[in-house]
Amino acid sequence: MSCCENNNNKKNLNVLFFGIDSLRRDHMSLYGYEKLTTPNIDKYLQDGVVFNNCFAPAIPTTPGYSSMMTGLDIFSTDTVALRHQGDLAPGVKTLAEILGERGYNTTCVGFEGNVGGRGYQKYLNFDGWGPDKNDGRSHKAENLNEAALPELERLAEIYKSEDKPFFLFLRHMDPHAPYLPPAPFSEMFYQGNQFDPENKSLEKMYNFKPFCDFHSGWIPEGCTDKDYIIAQYDAEIAYMDACIQIILEKLAALGIEEETLVVFTSDHGETLYDHDCLFDHHSTYDPTLVVPFAYKIKGCNCGNNCQCGGCGDCRGKRFSDICQHKDIVPTVLGVLGLDDTGIKFDGRNLTELLRGGKINQEPELYITEATWMRKHGWRTPEWKLIIALEPDFHFKPEVELYNLINDPEEYNNLAEKEPEVVKFLTKRMNNFIAKREKETGRTNPMITNATKWNGFGKAFETSEEAYNSMHIGDIGRAQRLQAKNKK
């Protein structure tokens, strides 16, 4: 038999899914970052499958997880806003619901109340957003482990005794602000003077009224250096990576590593101090769009339809094909050998690449944001077009155009110099929108959410109005915004 011929005698694979919030791909050593932020994940995935160019085209959390968990784009989920109102579009099934119908036990840790986390049989929560009263640091990943490890043990016991597989989804919050990694991680990537009075790099943040109260609630009083805050973000990733290793070690100790598909991805990246976005994840610039996507089954990544016995043909693979959130569910189901759902996914089953096959390339992306601004655009390998659907609180121009080859950091707006490129890309974007509206039978949710996305029930008419209206004041409010739809 070939590597991927069917084997009906194999048990269904379990799924351990790390859905990490705000994890920017290019700040992971797995993807070449110069700081060793993810050593345990790096080592674990040496014989896994890694996708180098995965994008989160719909910012932020709610549309990101909704697409990640359904295999559908925003037109099919009808979800674009963080403060999304109501359910997903009628008829949409989440991965939890699909696997639950196939006899899986399904548990979600840390994502109750958001429509993107719908459909699990069991929900477990954990604390840790704010500073701990003992050390002033945030122990998010350790608190997640306290909830997740006993549940993993419970699910593993049922799997071994009753042959009932599980889907365990873990929503890590560590890279999400506030960046308060515990010691010694907090010291790993910074040994300067964060209180240097000559350093003025944080003045912009302290003077930005919509965010200054939130950041002042967790950034050390008197801190002046933006690089200290960025180092804390990197330290959050390293801290989380160490805690993830405990879960991976538990999986091995339970003796089910070879029967468990382990997935890593994120809902979106993080802008840090890029483009004045100030330690958050709004905008459609690439730091927010870039996310990891990788998976592994120990010994064999072809999945449930494989007889290779760990031949190595499907291990240690990296692919540079551009992929998106919508490709994750079809790929997971392809690995599990459960791709006979009858669902017409918008995404593609990327396991074809492991078998030497080809997938339809999708190098162009429709990108959206409905968090603190309402914008959409079109990204190609060469160009990025961003169009504001209403004025934003950063006072950015209505149209932005960047050449991603010559200006990968997106700081040289060419919209006025290259009007023909703007016209060409706008037409391609509008043609795509019209096509998807026709296919789904609904208007682009970026239009239908015009009065809902910002929580004020109306669109902003000026940047001044947006700047003076939008505000986040404390850690508690940030946490509540992440679970807006809790019933």
Which pLDDT score, from 0 to 100, does residue 455 have?
86
Number of domains in the chain: 2
The answer to whether residues 359 and 372 belong to one domain is no
Q: State mean pLDDT over 373-389.
A: 98
Nearest Cα to 411, choosing from 226, 287, 282, 268?
287
The answer to whether residues 74 and 212 belong to one domain is yes
- Per-residue pLDDT of 107-137, as tens digits, reads 999 999 899 999 999 999 998 777 888 898 9
The answer to whether residues 326 and 398 belong to one domain is no
pLDDT at 65 over 60: yes
Task: Give the separation between CA 199 and CA 224, rounded to whole angstroms.
Answer: 6
Task: Give the separation between CA 246 and CA 239, rounded to whole angstroms.
Answer: 11
The answer to whether residues 81 and 155 belong to one domain is yes
Residue 400 has φ and ψ, to the nearest 5°, of -125, 140
- Domain presence at residue 418: yes
Nearest Cα to 260, choosing from 3, 17, 8, 2?
17
- Domain presence at residue 2: no
Last residue of a domain, one of 333, 363, 393: 363
CA 145 to the chain's CA centroid: 20
- Per-residue pLDDT of 10-38, as tens digits, reads 578 999 999 999 999 999 999 999 999 99
Burial 272-291 (b: 16+ CB within 10 A, else e): bbbbebbbbbbbbbbbbbbb
Enter the tokens of residue 399: 């149209």
- Domain presence at residue 3: no
Which pLDDT score, from 0 to 100, does residue 480 have?
77
Residue 321 has φ and ψ, to the nearest 5°, of -60, 140
Sole residue written with tokens 């992929």: 323
- CATH number of the domain residue 409 falls in: 3.30.1120.10
- Per-residue pLDDT of 393-410, as tens digits, reads 999 999 999 999 999 999
Residue 260 has φ and ψ, to the nearest 5°, of -130, 125
E strands in 273-398: 290-296, 317-324, 365-370, 374-379, 383-388
- Domain presence at residue 6: no
- CATH number of the domain residue 156 falls in: 3.40.720.10
Task: Give the separation between CA 260 and CA 328, rounded to whole angstroms.
Answer: 16
The answer to whether residues 373 and 353 belong to one domain is no
Number of helices and strands in the chain (H, E): 14, 13
Report which residue type is found at 282.
Answer: H
- Domain presence at residue 213: yes
Which pLDDT score, from 0 to 100, does residue 61 have?
95
Instruction: Supply the DSSP symbol for 45.
Output: G
Which pLDDT score, from 0 to 100, does residue 487 have?
43
Maximum CA extent, the chain = 69
Task: Give the separation between CA 387 and CA 422, rounded to whole angstroms.
Answer: 10
Q: Which segment of 219-228, 347-356, 380-389 scores lowest on mean pLDDT?
A: 347-356
The answer to whether residues 311 and 257 belong to one domain is yes
Q: State mean pLDDT over 420-440.
A: 98
Last residue of a domain, one of 318, 337, 363: 363
Strand order in the sheet with 260-266: 122-124, 105-109, 166-170, 14-20, 260-266, 290-296, 49-55, 317-324
The answer to whether residues 218 and 137 belong to one domain is yes
- Domain presence at residue 74: yes
- Per-residue pLDDT of 302-330, as tens digits, reads 665 554 444 556 788 999 999 999 999 99
Q: State mean pLDDT over 176-183.
A: 95
The answer to whether residues 131 and 267 belong to one domain is yes
Which stretch of DSSP H or E encloses residue 99? helix 95-101
Domain that holds residue 277: 14-363
Task: Give the separation between CA 202 and CA 208, rounded to whole angstroms.
Answer: 10
The answer to whether residues 111 and 136 belong to one domain is yes
Predicted TM-score of the model (pTM) = 0.94
The answer to whether residues 379 and 339 belong to one domain is no
The answer to whether residues 181 and 289 belong to one domain is yes
Nearest Cα to 369, choosing from 483, 449, 457, 432?
449
- Domain presence at residue 8: no
Could you tell me the sign of the dihedral formed by the alpha carbons of 53, 328, 297, 15, in that order? positive
The answer to whether residues 334 and 372 belong to one domain is no
